[in-house]
Structure 1
């Protein structure tokens, strides 16, 4: 199984907007996401990526993935090395702080 050639689906944006999501809500969200993947005809080529957040690693959530035969790609929690957008945020913050420190004459 070559995970690099499979489509990746994450819930990153949803998780940012929902600070406290329990594992049952997380599973419901995943179920809805899987319906979208089904509509896109991704089939068994799907690899699901999630970090080690407790709701992601909950026994009930992991059992759901196993029962649905969904491959889960393990991902370290809050790893900027593995999450390219984190590097962009650093660059954006640096550029913004430099712009704000320039004073007009």
Structure 2
């Protein structure tokens, strides 16, 4: 298959299929949220990986944890930068963060 290199075109099909399934799952969740909105007073907590040290022993889980933490960090940094609250490229703080 795609991961053994015998059928590289299968990789595109796998990507398309995963995208289609994620889109379908998102549609189901959005429908549930809309249906439950009148009776819910609070959204359930977001998923977090367990804090156990065993999770880092598995390469796949370790990579997933790294990717989610990295994306969370870069997303937060991007929001701060867009608001003018991050440090400049030279390392000096912007005036909007530290008033005179």
The alignment's TM-score, normalised by the length of structure 2, stands at: 0.26
Q: Which has the higher contact order (CA 8 A, sep 6+)?
A: 1
Larger Rg: 2
Greater fraction strand: 1
